[in-house]
């Protein structure tokens, strides 16, 4: 019983740490876009949270950390949507990675990260189509979100590979 409580506390602590990293990575590096949004490194930790912590704790860390960044940054209208989109990204990233990792874990991470970023691009486009009552207006944000997605996928795979090199037994799941 104590061992299980210890493991749960360890997972909760690590999830909180990754949520904080996600928030900080989103807020510290902000490159403004023409659509009044910004490019950031938060998606790096969305994927890493999923791969390290699995579908429950990783999803929570990714969604909460990203939503906190929107709240702190004053993007209040995006907070609930970001929570949903980033959580879904992490959940799908984990699932795709698990299904493909037996053959080649590096390719599995690339594929998982790219699919997660497609969810982000389509998720925000869908939300903005409703928010602005205009699919055409929502399409204007897609190029910036595509660049964000490329940054997120590339940085998450790169950082995770570096982590594995230096901390080979890092898996917490």
Domains of the chain in sequence order? 2-166 (1.10.1760.20)
Percent of the chain with pLDDT over 70: 95
Overall average pLDDT of the 12-25 stretch:
97
How confident is the model at residue 4, as a pLDDT? 86
Task: State the maximum Cα–Cα separation within the chain, in Å, rounded to a whole number.
Answer: 56
How confident is the model at residue 63, as a pLDDT? 98
Query: Which tens digits make up the pLDDT trace of 32-86?
Result: 888 777 889 999 999 999 999 999 999 999 999 999 999 999 999 999 999 999 9
Report the alpha-carbon distance of residue 82 to residue 91 in Å, rounded: 14
pLDDT above 90 for 172: no
Report the alpha-carbon distance of residue 19 to residue 52 in Å, rounded: 12
Report the alpha-carbon distance of residue 136 to residue 138 in Å, rounded: 5
Q: Which of 149 and 167 is assigned the larger pLDDT?
A: 149
Report the alpha-carbon distance of residue 55 to residue 92 in Å, rounded: 8
Q: Which of 111 and 7 is assigned the larger pLDDT?
A: 111
Q: If you average pLDDT over every residue of the chain, what do you get? A: 93
Query: Which tens digits make up the pLDDT trace of 120-134?
Result: 999 999 999 999 999
How confident is the model at residue 1, as a pLDDT? 60
pLDDT above 70 for 173: no
């Amino acid at each position: 019983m104590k061992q299980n409580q210890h493991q749960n506390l360890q997972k909760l602590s690590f999830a909180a740490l990754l949520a904080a990293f996600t928030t900080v990575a989103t807020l510290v590096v902000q490159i403004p876009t023409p659509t009044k949004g910004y490019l950031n490194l938060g998606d790096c930790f969305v994927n890493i949270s999923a791969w390290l912590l699995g579908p429950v704790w990783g999803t929570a860390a990714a969604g909460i950390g990203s939503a906190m960044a929107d709240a702190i940054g004053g993007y209040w209208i995006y907070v609930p949507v970001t929570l949903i989109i980033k959580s879904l990204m992490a959940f799908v990233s984990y699932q795709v990675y698990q299904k493909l990792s037996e053959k080649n874990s590096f390719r599995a991470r690339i594929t998982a990260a790219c699919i997660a970023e497609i969810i982000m691009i389509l998720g925000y486009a869908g939300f903005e189509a409703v928010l602005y009552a205009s699919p055409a207006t929502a399409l204007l944000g897609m190029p910036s979100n595509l660049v964000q997605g490329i940054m997120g996928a590339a940085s998450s795979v790169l950082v995770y590979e570096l982590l594995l090199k230096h901390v080979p037994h890092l898996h917490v799941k």
